[in-house]
Amino acid sequence: MKPGSIVAIYLLFWVMSFFLVIPFGVRTDEEAGAERMPGHAESAPHRFDFGRAALHATMLGSALFALFYLNYIYGWVSVDMLDWAAPPKTS
C-alpha cells in the first residue's frame, strides 16, 4: 500500500471515529448545574472539549486502522468471503 493511501485511509478512520466519540461525555447546562442561555436548545452541550474528543478519536481511529491494515497484509477477511449474493463457485 502506498504511503498516500495509508494517510488517506487513516484520515477516513479518524473522521469516522471523531463523529462516533463526540456524543460521549458531553453534559448539558442542567447536568453541569449552570443556567441555560436564552435561545439555546435544552440538549445543547455546556462545554465542548475538542482536544479530548480528538484524543479519543485518535485512539479509536488508530486501533481501527491497525485492524484494517493487518487485514490488508494477512488477508483475514477477503472480498470473496463477503460476497453472499454471488452464486457458489463450482470447480
- Name the β-bridge partners of 28: 45
What is the grid cell recorded at 36?
441555560
pLDDT category, 56, cuts 50, 70, 90?
very high
Q: For 6-46, what is each residue's pLDDT tens digit?
A: 999 999 999 999 999 998 988 888 888 888 888 888 888 88
Q: Is residue 24 part of a domain?
A: yes
Q: Give the mean model confidence (pLDDT) for residues 58-75.
A: 96
Q: Is residue 88 part of a domain?
A: no
Res 4: pLDDT? 96
- For 5, 55, 66, the CA distances from 9, given in Å and listed in that order, are 6, 18, 11
Res 85: pLDDT? 72
Q: Is residue 25 part of a domain?
A: yes
- The tally of domains found in the chain comes to 1
pLDDT category, 91, cuts 50, 70, 90?
low
- What is the extent of the structural domain holding 53? 3-77
Q: Is residue 17 part of a domain?
A: yes
Res 84: pLDDT? 74
Q: Is residue 84 part of a domain?
A: no
pLDDT higher than threshold 80 for residue 88: no
What gap in Å lies between CA 53 and CA 45, rounded to an integer?
Answer: 13
Q: Give the mean model confidence (pLDDT) for residues 36-59.
A: 89
Q: How many CB atoms lie within 10 A of CB 3?
A: 7
